[in-house]
Amino acid sequence: MEFKRVVVTGLGTVNPLGNSIEEYWEGLKNGKSGAGPITHFDVTHQKTTFACELKNFNPAKYVEQKEVRKHDPFTLFAYATAAQAMEDSGINLETINKDRAGIIWGAGIGGLQTFYEEVTNYNPEVPRFSPFFIPKMIANIASGLLSIRYGFRGPNFTTVTACASASHALIEAMNYIRLGKVDLFIAGGSEAAVNHAGLAGFNSMRALSTRNDDPLTASRPFDLDRDGFVMGEGSGALILEEYEHAVKRGAKIYAEMVGGGMSADAYHMTAPDPEAGGATLVMKLALEDAGLNTEDIDYINVHGTSTPLGDIAEPKAILKCFGHHAYNLSISATKSMTGHLLGAAGAVEAIACIMAIQNGIIPPTINHFTDDPEIDSKLDFTFNVAKERKIKTALSNTFGFGGHNASVIFKKI
């Protein structure tokens, strides 16, 4: 059968670089670090004392003040970015068919802050929990609440694949539209794990940077002295829409989503396959799905978390997948600026790809000081300074604990 075309008609984000698309893009192209000492809670006894927190986020802009306490931060982030994306898209809720509009949302963890607070305050002698405990905590609640807010009665579910969650949400939404089952989706992801439990949990795995004396440069993808990722928080939302539906209503179109790949490492609970088999496969599958050749890709927004093993495996996968064309690619790891947004990363980094296509600018991989001899230095990682380049097609990688891999491809239209 002939697939329908899928386009992006709305964008929204709150993340450590800003609470709008405009602020986010300004931060990216200027190589701004979103890291700093943690301000939202006491980190006296934590091994890592910094993160990429949201700054000046006001949930009351998107939810009535009296309703804020009923939601975990990850849901409040979702409300904010969905509202931005919907406004940006110009969708008229009175004229669309809401039976053919859906929500697919990614969350790696869900309401971790709620779970931490409720368990911390639990008294076994008075076994009571808040009536909001379960609905605030469950990972699927953001997609459910967004459908209630907008009245969308189409497919509604949550993808939970750790750091690949939002990318899987985008792929699922694209495929429903391609098949002609749905006209449009709000798709993306949100995460709010910068709290005592999230920080201590990742620290116990030795996954986080402990560069407490220099948080601004702690996220160092592909640098010899990288020592772990920097936690981030936030959300990204995209309006994905069937092309003819978008044209008919006169929508502005940012880009076309032309493909997605999904694979598994089938290797280890948290470590990447050192031979990069799953990461190589997922990019090949995305290219095949999009009907593209390796030479068609101009830019890759890599997973690039600043971890010792992951930052070796991904360049190896790029070389295996793209061959000699790998040296013609522009590559960057925007987690060097935003930190790692976990289940929201795929959406926020997809937006980076779309803005790069729109503006002809490759955002940099900041905080590079020393080459790692185990990483091919002839690859163009766009270290430290953004550069201009005409970009027709961009690919974004996200890889999650459990060996979940997802790649998405966007094309200039």
CA geometry: angle 276, 278, 279, nearest 5 deg:
65
State how far the Cα of 355 lies from the Cα of 340, in Å rounded to an integer: 19
168 labelled catalytic: no
Q: Which helix (H) or strand (E) holds 50?
A: strand 50-51
Out of 163, 196, 245, 368, the active site residue is 163
Dihedral angle, C-alpha 352, 173, 236, 132, nearest 10 °: -170
- Give Cβ neighbours of residue 193 (< 8 Å, ≥ 6 apart): 108, 109, 112, 113, 231, 233, 342
State how far the Cα of 50 lies from the Cα of 213, in Å rounded to an integer: 9
Structure tokens that stand for 257 in this block: 């989503």
45 labelled catalytic: no
- Give Cβ neighbours of residue 346 (< 8 Å, ≥ 6 apart): 106, 163, 164, 165, 166, 167, 168, 169, 170, 189, 236, 396, 398, 406, 408
Of 220, 88, 240, the C-alpha closest to 167 is 240
State how far the Cα of 130 lies from the Cα of 114, in Å rounded to an integer: 10
- The answer to whether residues 389 and 362 touch, using CB atoms and an 8 Å cutoff, is yes
Amino acid at 240: L
State how far the Cα of 371 lies from the Cα of 403, in Å rounded to an integer: 27
Structure tokens that stand for 377 in this block: 């230095």
Out of 168, 303, 368, 404, the active site residue is 303
- The answer to whether residues 186 and 137 touch, using CB atoms and an 8 Å cutoff, is no
- Give Cβ neighbours of residue 355 (< 8 Å, ≥ 6 apart): 21, 24, 25, 28
303 labelled catalytic: yes
Out of 340, 353, 368, 404, the active site residue is 340
Of 341, 313, 337, 318, the C-alpha closest to 329 is 318
Using CB atoms within 10 Å of the CB of residue 8, give its burial: 0 to 12 exposed, 13 to 18 middle, 19+ buried: buried
Which residues are tagged catalytic? 163, 303, 340
